[in-house]
């Protein structure tokens, strides 16, 4: 994927039943880069990501991939380039993990189950890197939340798209898998040139994994740029309504966000 293949949403106005929840938002996801979307609950992150994945119709705005309008792509063409790990996917009962992951190959198979020579290796790779190979035969409705999350991710990875949109991929995962999945996200960008757009709640994870961060608040983009540019104490405190301090890792210089401890907050209130 070349630099021209930047995936862009521009001027997106998004609503539910006449209530606009995202206002004139623009987000670009670039090959080889990880772009994190952060913001408080209800700020519009999932809606924006779903609109980028053509799952929520925009009232206004455009989607483009390089110089091509995304509206010109058929469903199958779109699914070969862009995939979304969404939240709250319905869980089919009695379907084994391997079959669910195999569903990720749907854009390559079509109605008549056309030959898909790369399918088997793509599925095996996706299951391996997400750590679900050992549960291939288990029914997805028997899995824990974290196991299921990894199966959905494997399904997206089996799709082998240039653009990967992930809505809270670390949801339900224990500490080890959170680290593994974020490392995998970084590797996909660095080694395979994948363009990643990822919703994260943990601002420290966002600062760790992302090249760029966009912060949303009440449907309005507050800032876009490097973690150090976006994550300032004033901005994070104002958006989240909580005093925070910004830290710097002495070795990596990476920024971190630390809520001001409750004892200090109480003392500040008393002063
Ligand atoms: N299906 C829906 N019908 C009506 N309103 C909705 C629907 N889904 C979301 N909303 C509203 O749209 C706004 C944005 O929601 P969205 O889920 O995009 O936010 P979010 O930033 O992803 O939130 P969270 O961090 O809690 O997942 C919220 O006010 C929410 O209540």
CA of 235 to the centre of ligand 1 (A): 22
CB 196 within 8 A of CB 115: no
CA of 1 to the centre of ligand 1 (A): 32
Return the half-sphere exposure (C-beta side, CA atoms, 13 A cut-off) of residue 267. Answer: 5
What number does the ligand 1 atom closest to the CA of 43 have?
Answer: 21
CA of 43 to the centre of ligand 1 (A): 7
In whole angstroms, give the CA distance from residue 65 to residue 162.
10
Output the pLDDT for position 87: 85
Give the helix/strand (H/E) hosting 244: strand 244-248
Contacts of 267 (CB under 8 A, 6+ apart): none
CA of 189 to the centre of ligand 1 (A): 28
Output the pLDDT for position 113: 61
Give the helix/strand (H/E) hosting 264: helix 262-270
Residue nearest to atom 25 of ligand 1 (CA): 41
pLDDT tens digit string along 102-115?
999 988 886 666 67
Cα 147 to its chain centre, rounded Å, is 18
- Sheet of strand 68-69: strand arrangement: 19-29, 7-16, 60-65, 68-69
Output the pLDDT for position 1: 42
CA of 47 to the centre of ligand 1 (A): 6
Residue position matching structure tokens 């999350």? 149
Please return the burial class of 130, using the count of CB atoms within 10 Å of its CB with bins 0-12, 13-18 and 19+.
Answer: buried
What number does the ligand 1 atom closest to the CA of 201 have?
Answer: 25
Output the pLDDT for position 2: 47
Tens digits of pLDDT across the chain (271 residues): 445 689 999 999 999 999 999 999 999 999 999 999 999 999 999 999 999 999 999 999 999 999 999 999 999 999 999 999 998 788 889 899 999 999 999 888 866 666 788 889 999 999 999 999 999 999 999 999 889 999 999 999 999 999 999 999 998 889 988 998 899 999 999 999 999 999 999 999 999 999 999 999 999 999 999 999 999 999 999 999 999 999 999 999 999 999 988 777 788 888 8
Contacts of 151 (CB under 8 A, 6+ apart): 97, 100, 101, 130, 132, 135, 140, 143
CB 219 within 8 A of CB 25: yes
CA of 49 to the centre of ligand 1 (A): 11
In whole angstroms, give the CA distance from residue 237 to residue 225.
18
Mutation probe of ligand 1 site: the residue of 43, 197, 201, 217 with most atoms within 8 A of C-beta: 43
Task: Name the nearest CA neighbour of 145 among 197, 70, 91, 73.
Answer: 91
Output the pLDDT for position 267: 83
What number does the ligand 1 atom closest to the CA of 22 have?
Answer: 14
Residue nearest to atom 26 of ligand 1 (CA): 41
pLDDT tens digit string along 204-235?
999 999 999 999 999 999 999 999 999 999 99
Angle at 228 (CA atoms; ends 223, 230), nearest 5 degrees: 15
Q: What SS3 state is found at 175?
A: helix
CB 43 within 8 A of CB 218: yes
Output the pLDDT for position 110: 64
Strands (E), 141-231: 163-167, 195-199, 212-217, 220-225
Give the helix/strand (H/E) hosting 35: strand 34-38
Domains of the chain plus CATH, in order, are 3-231 (3.40.50.300), 232-271 (no CATH)
What does each C-alpha distance from 32 to 2, 35, 50, 102, 186 come to in angstroms?
9, 10, 21, 26, 9
Cα 3 to its chain centre, rounded Å, is 20
Torsion of CA 38, 43, 70, 167, to 10 degrees: 50
Which residues line the pocket of ligand 1, CB cutoff 6 A? 16, 21, 39, 41-47
CA of 14 to the centre of ligand 1 (A): 11
What number does the ligand 1 atom closest to the CA of 44 have?
Answer: 18
């Amino acid at each position: 994927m070349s630099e021209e293949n930047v995936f862009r949403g521009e001027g997106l106005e998004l609503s539910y039943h006449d209530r606009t929840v995202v206002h004139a938002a623009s987000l670009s996801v670039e090959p080889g880069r990880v772009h994190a979307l952060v913001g408080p609950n209800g700020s519009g992150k999932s809606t924006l990501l779903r609109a980028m994945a053509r799952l929520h119709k925009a009232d206004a705005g455009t989607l483009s991939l390089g110089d091509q309008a995304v509206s010109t792509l058929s469903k199958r063409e779109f699914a070969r380039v862009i995939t979304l790990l969404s939240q709250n996917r319905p869980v089919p009962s009695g379907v084994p993990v391997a079959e669910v992951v195999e569903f990720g190959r749907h854009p390559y198979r079509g109605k008549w189950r056309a030959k898909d020579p790369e399918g088997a290796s793509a599925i095996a790779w996706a299951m391996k890197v997400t750590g679900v190979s050992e549960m291939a035969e288990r029914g997805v409705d028997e899995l824990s939340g974290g196991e299921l999350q990894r199966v959905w991710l494997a399904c997206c990875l089996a799709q082998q798209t240039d653009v990967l949109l992930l809505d809270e991929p670390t949801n339900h995962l224990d500490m080890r898998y959170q680290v593994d999945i974020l490392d995998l996200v970084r590797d996909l960008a660095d080694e395979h040139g994948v363009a990643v757009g990822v919703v994260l709640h943990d601002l420290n994870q966002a600062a760790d994994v992302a090249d760029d961060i966009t912060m949303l608040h009440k449907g309005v983009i507050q800032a876009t740029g490097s973690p150090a540019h976006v994550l300032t104490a004033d901005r994070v405190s104002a958006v989240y309504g909580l005093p925070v301090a910004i830290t710097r890792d002495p070795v990596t210089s990476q920024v971190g966000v630390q809520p001001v401890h409750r004892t200090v907050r109480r003392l500040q209130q008393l002063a």
